[in-house]
Amino acid sequence: MANKSGGEPYPSPIVDRAASPRTLMRLFLLAGVLIAAAIAFVFLRDALSPSIVLGLLGFLSLLGIFFIVSSMIGFIQVMPHRSSDPLARSFVDGQAEGTLITDRKGRAVYANAAYGQLTGAKKAADVQSVEALLSRSKESSEAVYRLTNVLREGRHGQEEFRLTRALNPASGAVGARWYRLSGRPLVLEESQSEKLFAWQLCDITAEREEQERFFKDLQHAIDYLDHAPAGFFSAGRKGDIVYINATLADWLSIDLTKFRPGSLTIAEMIAGEGMALIDSVQAEPGRNKTATLDLDLRKTNGQSVPVRLVHRVSATRDGAPGESRTIVLARNGTEGSDHSAATAEMRFTRFFNNTPMAIASVDGDGRILRTNAPFLKMFSGLVTRDDLENGARFETVIHDNDVTSFKAGLEQARDGQSDIAAVDTRHPNDPARHFRLYVNAVIDHAESREEAAIIYVVETTEQKALEEQMAQTQKMNAVGTLAGGIAHDFNNVLTAILLSADHLLLSLRPSDASFADLMEIKRNANRAAVLVRQLLAFSRKQTMRPSVLSMTDVIGDLRMLIDRLTGTNVKLAIEYGRDLWPVLTDLGQFEQVLINLAVNARDAMPKGGTVTIRTRNIGADEVGKLNYRGLEAQDCVLIEVADEGTGIPPEIIDKIFEPFFTTKDVGKGTGLGLSMVYGIVKQSGGYIYPISEVGKGTAFQIFLPRHIEVPVEATAEGEAAAAAVPVAAPQAPNAERVDLTGSAVVLLVEDEEAVRRGGKRMLETRGYTVHEAASGVEALEIMEELGGAVDIVVSDVVMPEMDGPTLLRELRKDYPDLKFVFVSGYAEEAFAKNLPADAKFGFLPKPFSLKQLAITVSETLSS
């Protein structure tokens, strides 16, 4: 058959039934109808009227004319229609792959010449369907079955199979053959209901043989690469190892049977700081770069292997890291040989790159000539190997404010001076990181005319932080000591004022003119006592009565009070943690902590906002991960008070706990609120940390250690432990009148004359016989003069010559049952540690009133 376009002839198909299979059937049906009509006219000509016969003949004539015209214009197709597109016919007929088109029943509609050559069919009668042709072999029949199911579902598919002999024995092919069979459903435009199936069959034996040869060559290459005398590995963009040869795996003791691509990274293979050298090799966008590096690899047992890497990296066009290929040359083969120079070079390079100190050499102008791996790691992002090759200056890695000091040191190095002062500097992009530079002159630089100095860099960030923390701690301790001393002296003054005021009030009636003035004096003295207690809270010497508490109950009881204190513009939100652990602290004192923090949060939000109080348990592991300075890794209860206010500027956040430091206007704050909070939390064994961001708010996080109950057994040790607990100062109920008179003999020991005189006078008015002493030594003398005829000793704690705890120990030697009351502005813990474990005593905190003194003496005598 010739090409209709006038080109070269194309092979004719051996089967081409392009017309619809029903076309001939319709023609036979039409002929039958016409013959039947003619016979009917012959036999029924007498029965029909002439007009009816003429009408039928006219109708048939018109029908015939319509059919002829429709056939001519193509409206009705009578004969099989062949494609009018020569390009499509030449493409299908001339395909190298065998093409077969069948209908639903498997009958061949079209088969090109290539299909006949593959299957051995020479004429249309020889053409077999795919199912019939390939059902002889198990491999091919399974493939046809799968593909047929796919076609029936309206999808296309492809299968490959191997036959022991060729489909066409006459083709001369010897041995097993590989075939590819593909199929897809077809729908004719002329009849959408008629679905056909297109099959394509081709011999891919040559393609398979080529693939096998390629894989064999690849396997040979891999075998050669695996057993090469050098190691080799390749990595992906993220540094994950995708291939490692057997030689390198043997050096590093890696089990290749367990190795999977991505299960190992470059960082896990590199020992020491060598990864900084790897990271320093960077390629330009869209290009590759190769560098030779001397470093150590890490074996699976932790040992080091000195190697030289030929490291080749690539970068994508957008500059992102690409893949890398690395050849590894073992360097330990030179040890013990005559290659002493190579061995010395290798050892020096290893020591140079594995030293914990960053090292760089510079020339006289400050250009960096060489660096080690720790230097590249320390200043990652500031200098790269490309920068070093382009003459980067050392000034790029130090802060601008310290460039002058560095240049002065470099000038001394150029002059060959040996005693060059260290230069302290900071990271240019991160001022929180501190460094110290040691500049050493290279004496023989005149001969090399290159290196002028070697610079050793040590990061001192942690050292600086510890120095600042130590200075802050010393400052706070000094302020605390000062505050405690001031508070002690003020307590003595306030005690004398309160006792004198009480003495005067005893001789006056409320109607007297001076009674109101005395009450005002007492009220202001009590106000001053509150400030003194705040100072003592900061110095952690206040009186505390710790008890086991649940923070859920404490905050729940305070909720209404805090809500009223914060006002209407501020919303209070409380987020309770579940199953909070118990803590040990003073209830009243810790309530003051929460109230102070809530009031401060309210003041930080003048336009309103939300104060949030959160609680939760936090385990020791989580506490350790917080990495807060001074915070021990232990189970804690976290109490957080957060606001949405103005925040605390970074420059003053370290000063907020200092006494008398405040940012409020004059007259609106004493600066003791947060100091008291700090002292109470610390005295409770806890920690407090502020977290603030200007413009977004502040959160104070309080960590209180978890309290674990330890049952006290009824043993001698248990009784001794119980006896060591101080007797609390009794508080008489307001609703009852207590008889405060007595007839006992009291020895009052107080170095402050005003307090001693006032206390003596007050006790004598209650009927007590009082002997007074100005020191512990004098008290022992008076006790000896009286022959021990003393019922109770009331003694100050801090006194010259002999303090109160020492006096107690001395008196208990001769009078073990003697009653004893300590009077102090400090907490019991401040002096109880100096007493014996079985020391039993009463305690009265300063400042105190006449009534408190009388109650304490009375209750201690009756205990």
Tens of pLDDT along 250-282? 888 888 888 888 888 888 888 877 787 788 787
pTM higher than 0.85: no
Task: Report the C-alpha gap between 701 and 704 in whole angstroms.
Answer: 10
Quote the distance between the C-alpha of residue 64 and its chain's center.
89
Beta pairing, strands 792-796 & 745-749: parallel
Assigned token pair, 164: 């022991």
- Residue 205 has φ and ψ, to the nearest 5°, of -60, -45
* Helix, strand, coil shares, percent, the chain, to 5: 40, 20, 35
Strand-pair partners of 572: 611
Evaluate whether 374 touches 273 at the Cβ level (below 8 Å): yes
* Angle of CA points 675, 545, 655, to nearest 5°: 10
Residues with Cβ within 8 Å of residue 485, at least 6 apart in sequence: none
Using the structure block, give the residue that is written with the tokens 């086991």. 548
Beta pairing, strands 288-298 & 304-315: antiparallel
At residue 635, the pLDDT reads 93
Neighbours of 123 (CB within 10 A): 9
At residue 333, the pLDDT reads 47
Task: Report the C-alpha gap between 62 and 839 in whole angstroms.
Answer: 138
CA distance readout (Å), 295 to 238, 352, 368, 384, 810:
21, 10, 21, 17, 72
CA distance readout (Å), 244 to 45, 264, 279, 321:
101, 10, 20, 20
Task: Report the C-alpha gap between 827 and 484 in whole angstroms.
Answer: 11
Helix then strand count (H, E) for the chain reads 27, 28
Task: Report the C-alpha gap between 424 and 850 in whole angstroms.
Answer: 62
Residues with Cβ within 8 Å of residue 706, at least 6 apart in sequence: 581, 582, 583, 617, 634, 635, 636, 637
At residue 387, the pLDDT reads 78
DSSP H or E run through 158: strand 157-163
Q: Which of 68, 65, 60, 62 is nearest to 37 (CA)?
A: 60
Task: Report the C-alpha gap between 468 and 328 in whole angstroms.
Answer: 47
DSSP H or E run through 225: helix 205-226
Q: Is 365 exposed, middle or buried (0-12, 13-18, 19+ CB in 10 A)?
A: exposed
Maximum distance among all alpha carbons in the chain? 175
Q: Which of 108, 180, 185, 101 is nearest to 150 (CA)?
A: 185
Q: What is the mean pLDDT of each run of 10 residues along the chain (863 residues)?
A: 46 66 62 75 69 75 76 60 61 80 82 83 81 80 86 86 82 82 77 74 87 79 72 84 84 84 86 78 79 82 80 80 78 48 61 77 86 84 78 87 88 79 87 86 61 85 75 63 64 77 78 80 75 56 72 87 84 91 85 86 88 93 86 92 89 77 56 76 88 90 87 43 40 47 85 82 86 89 88 86 85 87 69 65 79 85 82
Evaluate whether 648 touches 661 at the Cβ level (below 8 Å): no
Helix (H, G, I), strand (E, B) or coil at 699: strand
Assigned token pair, 680: 């109470």
Assigned token pair, 193: 């209901």
Please say whether the dihedral angle defined by the alpha carbons of residues 343, 344, 347 and 353, taken in this order, is positive or negative.
negative
* Angle of CA points 844, 848, 851, to nearest 5°: 95
CA distance readout (Å), 492 to 10, 668, 825, 846:
124, 28, 8, 7
Task: Report the C-alpha gap between 811 and 817 in whole angstroms.
Answer: 10
At residue 58, the pLDDT reads 78
Assigned token pair, 346: 């290798």
At residue 1, the pLDDT reads 47
Residues with Cβ within 8 Å of residue 62, at least 6 apart in sequence: none
DSSP H or E run through 548: strand 546-549
Half-sphere exposure of 201 (CA within 13 A, CB side): 32
At residue 660, the pLDDT reads 63
Tens of pLDDT along 33-85? 777 777 776 776 666 677 777 777 777 777 778 777 776 775 665 555 554 56
At residue 724, the pLDDT reads 40
